[in-house]
Structure 1
Amino acid sequence: MTPPPPGTVILSPHFDDAALSLAGLIPRLPGPVTVVTVYGGEPASHHRVSWWDSVCGFSTAREAYRSRLTEDARACALMGVGSVALDHPDGPYADGTPLTAIDAYLAEQPSDTLLLIPVSTNQSDHQKVRDRALAVTAKLGRATPMFYADLPYTGHLDEWGSAGADDALGRSHQYGLAYQDMASRHDLRLEHELTLTDEQWALKRAAVLCYGSQLAALTIDHGMVMARNGPLRAERVWAVGPGAKDS
């Protein structure tokens, strides 16, 4: 009997990051696709609600967490992906614990599983996930993961969605520092680029709207995040080393 394909794992720092960044490209990735939320653990009962969760309208940390689990289940069902929540509370509730849940999860995956991690534009939680995943895969002797442009952060680049996006990231001191850091360490080659059609955008919008509890708060820093020509309109993934290709 032929074993099932290894498929794709997307490390999503928070419950909405995979949908925001990759909902359009997910159908192109080798299946089955699993979205793994790293900061997916329930906060301890002693924690007061964080500023972010309060702005999102929640009264307690656990209320926010349980609502987001429900939102994530809906979004993942719409995107046709599996979902896993690692037992690590979100940043304000983490109590300084390291991201060791990533180690155990990745060690259990087939060695040829395709792994996607955020390039980590202007977001410290994303950087922690990226750096931990890189360290773990190196220790396991696995291939370097692919990097995806985390949205909406990277998508505020003026050239976003154009053929010159990579060159612009290589020059930008506002939105390109994470890309420049990874490009200085790895041979980054564009693997996937997608400017969403109206049909693809409608499907992505539906998935992102599942995370409705956070959308109002996102506008504080990201303005018209749900605009048709806003920062979510294009998606980008880079592979490392020989054999990578544009698509």
Structure 2
Amino acid sequence: MVLSPHFDDAALSVAGLLGRLDGPAAVVTVHGGAPPAQAPVSWWDAGCGFATAREAHRARLEEDACACALMGVEQLTLPNADSPYRDGGTLTGLSELLRELHPDTRVLVPLGTNQPDHAAVRDQALAALTDPAGPRPYVYADLPYTGAVRRWGTDAAVERLTSDPAYGGALRETAARYRMRVAYDVRLDDTEWAAKRAAIVCHSSQLAPVAVGHGPFLRKPGPLQAELVWELEPLGDPTAHTREP
């Protein structure tokens, strides 16, 4: 199960990995709920060309359905509106969902790099995933944010991200609380990249404003052709070295 803070995050960050994994998978968009009916359109949604907040939400649901179908995963949403349309606080439904999962479930949580919504999902999810006999937490590098570090997609990526003053804060913060082991270091071949790009392009309404902040992030070679996922074990966990990967 991938926890996607927004409708495009799973496709951007782990579509390549999802294409390699066996078994059923689901993408849960945590901020997947409709905004209040009379909410004024946010600056982000206006920048995407939408006249109303509800129009943007309807389009994003359709885009996400397209991306999930191409990735071969189940599409799920939680009822939290996107952050411009809510007052913050606890994310509805997230903790309950995680506590009801089968213990064999692998849960992929955003690392939380330079994005408060991602960090909020991470913190609440990890707080719910504390049972050693329950689902196992992993964190994935938030793309395109982490892809901005030099030598991303090489063996030096983790070291560079850890030491990067602009993009390494979330990794350093997580490493202070958990033992982190790279579980998946995914570097896409041309066929895999074409499949991932197709899933990303489903989220067409957001691509232009993302490019304003991150430049030509779909370029090849470029930041989205490498993905990183870490398995987490709490520091001091006596079972850390006895578990199967």
Q: Same fold (TM over 0.5)?
A: yes
Give yes or no for the alignment of 1:201 onto 2:193: yes
> Which moves more between the two structures, 56-65 or 189-198?
189-198
Q: Which residue identity does 1:101 align to in structure 2?
A: G
Percent identity over the alignment is 49
Aligned-residue RMSD, C-alpha: 1.6
Residues 69-123 of structure 1: CA deviation (Å, up to 9, x unaligned): 0000010000100010101100001133420310121122112211010111111
- Hey, what does 2:70 align to over in structure 1? 78
What is the Cα deviation at residue 28 of structure 1?
2.8
- Give the deviation of 1:141 after TM superposition: 6.4
- The size of the alignment, in residue pairs, is 237
Distance in 2 of aligned mates of 1:236 and 1:44: 36
Q: Structure 1 pair 118/42, CA: closer, same or farther in 2 (3 Å)? A: same
Is 106-115 or 175-184 further displaced after alignment? 106-115
2:120 is equivalent to residue 121 of structure 1 = no
Deviation at 1:140, TM superposition (A): 8.9
Which region of structure 1 is more displaced relative to structure 2, 211-220 or 107-116?
107-116
Q: Distance in 1 between matches of 2:30 and 2:212?
A: 24
Partner of 1:6: none
Q: Which runs of 5+ in 1 are unaligned?
A: 1-8
Q: Which amino acid is the alignment partner of residue 188 of structure 1?
A: M
CA contact (8 A) 1:189 1:244 kept: no
1:173 paired to 2:196: no
Aligned to 2:238: none
1:100 correspondence with 2:92 = yes
Q: How does 1:27-38 map to 2 (within 5 A)?
A: 27-38=19-30
Moved over 6 A (4+): none
The amino acid across from 2:220 in the alignment is: R
**Distance (whole Å) between structure 1 residues aligned to residue 133 and residue 119 of structure 2:** 21
Deviates more, 1:35-44 or 1:90-99: 90-99
Secondary structure in 2 matching 1:77: helix
Equivalent residues in 2 for 1:1-247, closer than 5 Å: 9-138=1-130, 142=134, 144-241=136-233, 242=241
Comparing 188-197 with 62-71, which one deviates more in the overlay? 188-197
Counterparts of 1:244 and 1:198, CA distance in 2: 32
Contiguous gaps of at least 5 residues in structure 2: 234-240
